[in-house]
Structure formats: structure tokens, C-alpha cells
Structure 1
Amino acid sequence: MTDKVRWGILGTGKIAKAFASALKDTPDARLAGVGSRNLASADWFTREFGGTAYASYEDLVHAPDVDLVYVGTPHPMHYENVRLALEAGKGVLCEKAFTVNRRQAEELVQLAREKNLFLMEAMWTRFLPALAEVRRIVDSGEIGTVRQVNADLGFKAEFGPAHRLFNPVLGGGALLDLGIYPLSIAVALLGPVDTVLAHADIGPTGVDEQTGILLRHSGGGMSVCSCSLRARLPSELTIAGERGHVRMNTMFYRTQTVTVVRADGIARTVPTPYIGNGYVHEVIEAQRCWRAGLIESPGMTHADTLALMGVMDEIRRQIGLTYDADSTQLSSTPPKENE
């Protein structure tokens, strides 16, 4: 085994670039190659980030010098791309949302287990120092038993209807792109979900442009989550207990501070800086698990991913949002890879 973990990136869009930047900030990681359906796009990518350019996804996943594959394509492509990498014998870190629906996710998890290969959803916020500090504070009992989580994430998307955020063929909508973040942390903090109540504004292209969600968790807590492509929301997350609350401050998914406010009025702010663009922490975890021979991360288990996909399936059922993948597993006309 080499000193550095050799990564292959599948896709050349915005999120792939962010991941490539994170690899530069991870001491024991190296970008080995980038795969695209357009060699010119892969060449351009490698000129900026390094590695070998591959003119197909198949060539990338079969490259002998690639240890782990990061899938950074649009949501509807995740199923076929992850399956391709697993069939080639490579461990996979797949960008959220893991798949379009739970049925697809179950098939991929089963395949990874059959082949004894590492597979993890790239829910990078699960590995941020801020969330670790929140867990420490909650576990200390300082704010009492946690009863409620409130989280939102949203911005005004200034894009046309063909953009992936609004295009149903590309898995568009606020829920899969934004809502998954507050939902994931709410479940991480309050546990499994018993009931779901959701409402949404469906836009002219047929995807949800903003969605509000109320969850009741099996442990007795409640969470209120919202996401929007229409409004710039505060994008904060608050965990409230009987004796106070903890707030992951503005843009909770990138926050470098958390604030504790107790019922007696005493407050303090705790610094929680992260490395690089924040993705480094999930890279470190994926590499740790892969080197240890694990097939999943204890911080983002297969069960976590499947449960969250199930919750989002129910939300989509309630708001009337469907995608092609809900009736067919693989698309005969794959969307563009730009994410």
C-alpha cells in the first residue's frame, strides 16, 4: 500500500473541483486521475488539479493506480456511476444525495457488501469539527435533554430552467440539493424518524423550489427543517434542550463557531475551525476506513444513508415530486456530468 491514497474523480463539474481542492489540503491524499465523457474536459481539469485525464468513466475506474473513486456527477447519474466503480473493484465516496431514491441506494449498498468494498455517502457536514463540538456539548448534559432541532438552508438561485437546480432530468429541486443537509444533521442528533409532514412550492419545471419539513423522531424529539431556492435563509441550525440551546452559526454547513446559550442567560462562543474548504474531514474519514478494511464509516453508515433516502422518498411522496428513476433504475439517456 502506498503512503498516499490515490483518488480518482468521476466528473468534472463544480463539486468535483471542490473535492479536488480538498485533496490538495489532505496530506496523505493524491489525485491520480479524472474521468469524463469528454477528454477535453478531463484534460482541462488535470491541468488545474493534476492527475491523469481519462476519456471515459470506465477507463478511470479500471485504472490500476486508483484506490478510491469519488463520484461527483449529478444525482441521477450516481446509481450507474457508483455501480460501475464497485463492479471494477474500487471503493467509493459518492456525493450527496447518494441516489435519487432508497431503492437505488439499497442495491448499491448490497453490491458493496457482497464485494466487501468501502462505500460512503459524501455527507461532509457529518465530519465537521463544529458538529463534533455540538455532540460533545449535548453529551455533557449542559443544555439538558435535546427536544428540538431547527435548521434551514436556502438562497435565491439566479439560474434558468435548464440549470441542474431546476431541471428534473438532472435531479433538480431544493430537497435533494439543499434540504438533505439539515435533514441529515437533524437525524444525526435526534435519531430515527417516526413521522414526516412536508409542504412545498413546486415551480414551473416541476421540481420543489422550497420545502418545509416537520419530523417526529422515535426518541421523542422533533425537528423543523426547510430549504429554498427562492429565498436567502439564515442557514443556521439550533439544537434546543430543556436548559438551553446550541447554535451552529450562519451557514451552519461551513460554520467555524458554535454558540451555547443557557437558560440562566450565560452564553459563550466556541471556535471550531476546519481545514481547507471543509471537505478534507470527509476525505480523512474515507481514507481511514478504507485503510482499515472497513466497508462503511461509523460516522455515516449505510443504514444512515438508507434511512435518510427513505425519509426523502416520503417527503417527495407528500409534495408530489417524482423523477424518472422512481420508475426505472437506469436512464437510457444519461444527463450531462456538470454538477
Structure 2
Amino acid sequence: MAPHNIRWGIMATGKIANVFVKDLLINPNLRGVSDISHSVVAVSSSSSKDRAEKFISSVGISTHCTAYGSYNDLVADANVDVIYVATPHSHHFQNVMLALEAGKHVLCEKAFTVNAAQTKILCETAKKKNLFLMEAVWTRYLPISIQVRELIKSGEIGEVLRVIADTSFGDPVEEAWGTDHRMVKMDLAGGCLLDLGIYSLTWVFQALYHTLPRNQRKPPSAVAAHMTLYHLTGADEATTMLLSFPTSTPSNSAHPGQSQGVAMTHLRVSTDPDQKNTAGPAVRIQGTKGEIQLYGHSFRPGSYRIIYNEEGKEVKEVQCPIPANGHGMFFEADEVARCLCDKKLESESMPWEESIVVMEAMDEVRRQGGLIYPEKIESTVYPLQV
């Protein structure tokens, strides 16, 4: 039986789109996938058709692929099954609404939107129109993430009571980012929270929320945050979050009470200064019987260790390389393809409800830190020129 092919339209031609498309072009057989396949049939730049054509050439799309100079033309293409939205966070709400209103399924880069109110409207619109929609939190679909979630659910390290996760890059911010780079520009919803902090929160939620049966998941009972704003633009350059959850995993019967997550992100100091894991794990998942430590960047850890409390029980070390020299984004694309084949509107690994809960947590973090983006970016009005 031939694999089911999904035809992608790519909205935007920046760095993340480049990485995603290159992963899509890798033969699925090289990662043991034979039921689905991917093809890129259209690419759009908001600035010019020429830019889209250069993107198609540079990433090596060899099959027929149409270049567009407007997003309106992209979402109107009848050959496109699903749109990958790779624009800045500031534009996600408007861009996803455009695709949904045109009847297209959507995979939208994280952070899903700027605020929870926008995310709720996108999910309501997708449900109303019977369309698939997913936030592209690609880390959740990596084999290492799936393994760690299964270890937690099986009780390998007992009840998980605390998660500490850091996603930080040490840069001379003034020289590296200035005032116009998207990482620090308020008009593009810049700052480390939405771009990097989402990965730290991903591990907190994967371990302390998602591992529970769906009917037992409860949002954080308390969120506390400290934020440092970049003096040149007002975007956040450092954010630390403490989240308390009303339950622990996999069972709260032995120790009824809360579990805690510490999620950190910073633009001036690095999780891994020498890029050799000398500084230790980026993520620590701590349970009553031991802990799981993840090494490498939090968004794409390469290995993990299990350290047990029990005397004489040896440390387990597991390597989890990405197959076929890929970046790892093809795993989330495979999930989209399978959901479309099964006529699902959402992914069980990144359901709408959970995207909303995470966005609500980030709303509270921004409220406490005094981080407010321009009114047009925060708006739930559609259509609106941003």
C-alpha cells in the first residue's frame, strides 16, 4: 500500500521554515516511517514572489512547487492540504485565521499566539470549520520526549514532584540583537519568554500535566514570575517562572499535595556555555525514586540519564540521536499527516486545551513582569493589519 502523501504549503521563508522544509524533504523510510510521506507544493513570502522562488531553490525542493508573493494566494491554492505557519509570533493569530477561513488545515509555530484569548479563538474557529490545527511544539514529538513521558507514567522514578528546565543562550544582547532583531523587537512580540521560555514550560507541562490521564489534568494552581526587561526595547531578556500544580504524577496517593515546576530562560547567560554539556543537564525531572536528567538543548536533548535513590541501582544512560541527519522536525510533520489521515482535528500529544493552558500561564507571567505588547499584536480582531 502506497504511503499517504500530505501536500504542504509554507507560509514565510525565514530560518525556522528553512529547517522545517529540509526535514520534510528527508525520505521518511530513513526514520522507519512507511505509512505517510510529505511534499512541499507551495511557498509564500509576504514580501515578494522572488523571495519565495529563492527559498525553493536554496532548500532543494526538486518537485514542482509554486512560489507566491502573498499569503492570500498561498491559502487559495487548491493543491495545498495543510499550511505551515512560520511567521513571527506577533502575526500568528492573523495568519492562522487567514488559513482557517480559506479552509486549510494548519500547523502553527510556537508560541501559538501572543495571548490565550487569541489561541482560544483559533481553536474555536478550527472546530467550527472542522479543520485540523496544531501548535508546532516539535520537542514533544521527539523520541526522547516520548520515552521520558512513558518512564514517568510507568513510575520509573516514582512520583514526580519537581521539574527544573532552562533554555538560555548567552549573547551580548546589544551587539547581537540591537533593537530591530525579532528576538527583542516589541512589534514582533520579541523577548525570550515566547521564543525560548516555551521550551522550558514544555518540559514542565510534559512531566507534571501531560503524563496524567486527560480527565485528571489540572492547570497550575499558582504561577509566580520574575522578569527583566531589555532596556533598549522593553522586551524580556530574562524570565524565571515557578508553577505549582495541584497534583503530582503518576499518582498522588502516597504524597497528596502539589508538584512544582521551575522554568527559566535568559538571553545573557547560557544553559550550556561550552556546548559540551559540562554545565550539566538542561532539564531535571525529580521523583520520589530518583530523577531523569536531559542533556543538550532543552528543545532537542540528545541523551538522558536516570539516577536512582536505591542503593546499588546503577545509573542508566540513554543516547537518542535524530535519525537521517535530520533536525527532528519531521516527527511533528508525521503527526500532522497521521492526524489528517485519521480525520482528527487535534493531536493528542499537543491538544488545544493544553496549548490554551500554557498560553494562560504565559499571560500571567507577562502580567507579573509588566510585559505588554502593542495593542494590534494583542488584539483578537480579525482581519487586522499588523
Q: Could you state the TM-score of these two structures normalised by the residue count of structure 2?
A: 0.83
Q: Which of 280, 283, 286 does residue 330 from structure 2 map onto?
A: 280
Amino acid of the residue matched to residue 196 of structure 2? L
User: Paired residue for 1:224?
Assistant: 262
> Displacement, 1:161?
1.3
3-state SS in 2 of match to 1:104: helix
Distance 1:58 1:26, change over 3 A: farther
Separation in 1, partners of 2:123, 2:342:
19
Separation in 1, partners of 2:194, 2:41:
29
Q: Which of 174, 187, 200 does residue 169 from structure 1 map onto?
A: 187
> Displacement, 1:250?
2.3
Unaligned runs of 5+ in 1: 335-339
Report 1:16-31 matches (<5 A): 16-25=17-26, 27=28, 28-31=37-40
Report 1:152-231 matches (<5 A): 152-157=166-171, 158-191=176-209, 192-204=219-231, 205-219=233-247, 220-231=258-269
Q: Which of 29, 40, 45 does residue 55 from structure 2 map onto?
A: 45
> Displacement, 1:328?
5.9
Once the two structures are superposed, residues 228-261 of structure 1 have per-residue CA deviations (whole angstroms, 9 ceiling, x without a partner) of 1111124711100011100111213212211101
User: Paired residue for 1:109?
Assistant: 123
User: Paired residue for 1:302?
Assistant: 352
Separation in 1, partners of 2:193, 2:3:
39
Share of identical aligned residues, percent?
40
User: Paired residue for 1:122?
Assistant: 136
Amino acid of the residue matched to residue 87 of structure 1? E
Amino acid of the residue matched to residue 314 of structure 2? I
Report 1:144-155 matches (<5 A): 144-155=158-169
Q: Is the 8 A contact 1:26 1:283 kept in 2?
A: no
Separation in 1, partners of 2:202, 2:385:
30
Separation in 2, partners of 1:110, 1:313:
19
Separation in 1, partners of 2:229, 2:381:
24
Separation in 1, partners of 2:138, 2:127:
22
Once the two structures are superposed, residues 243-287 of structure 1 have per-residue CA deviations (whole angstroms, 9 ceiling, x without a partner) of 110011121321221110111362111122223101011000011
> Displacement, 1:139?
2.2
User: Paired residue for 1:78?
Assistant: 92
> Displacement, 1:55?
1.3
Q: Is the 8 A contact 2:97 2:382 kept in 1?
A: no
Q: Are residues 1:315 and 2:350 paired?
A: no
Q: Which of 251, 261, 282 does residue 236 from structure 1 map onto?
A: 282
Separation in 1, partners of 2:38, 2:380:
36
Amino acid of the residue matched to residue 12 of structure 1? T
> Displacement, 1:142?
2.3
Once the two structures are superposed, residues 274-319 of structure 1 have per-residue CA deviations (whole angstroms, 9 ceiling, x without a partner) of 2310101100001110111000000000001111110000000000
Amino acid of the residue matched to residue 306 of structure 2? V
Q: Is the 8 A contact 2:223 2:242 kept in 1?
A: yes
Moved more, 262-271 or 159-168: 262-271
Separation in 2, partners of 1:260, 1:196:
28
Moved more, 135-144 or 10-19: 135-144
3-state SS in 2 of match to 1:254: coil
User: Paired residue for 2:8?
Assistant: 7
> Displacement, 1:197?
0.3
> Displacement, 1:330?
5.7
Separation in 1, partners of 2:380, 2:152:
42
Q: Are residues 1:137 and 2:147 paired?
A: no
Amino acid of the residue matched to residue 266 of structure 1? E
Q: Is the 8 A contact 2:118 2:380 kept in 1?
A: no
Q: Is the 8 A contact 2:285 2:293 kept in 1?
A: yes
> Displacement, 1:159?
1.8
Distance 1:209 1:329, change over 3 A: farther
Moved more, 298-307 or 273-282: 273-282
> Displacement, 1:168?
0.4
Separation in 2, partners of 1:201, 1:224:
16
> Displacement, 1:156?
2.4
User: Paired residue for 2:43?
Assistant: 34
Q: Are residues 1:267 and 2:281 paired?
A: no
User: Paired residue for 1:337?
Assistant: none
Once the two structures are superposed, residues 144-172 of structure 1 have per-residue CA deviations (whole angstroms, 9 ceiling, x without a partner) of 11110000001024221110001000110
Separation in 2, partners of 1:328, 1:230:
33
User: Paired residue for 2:378?
Assistant: 326
Q: Are residues 1:63 and 2:77 paired?
A: yes
3-state SS in 1 of match to 2:328: coil
Amino acid of the residue matched to residue 216 of structure 1? S
Q: Is the 8 A contact 1:130 1:248 kept in 2?
A: no
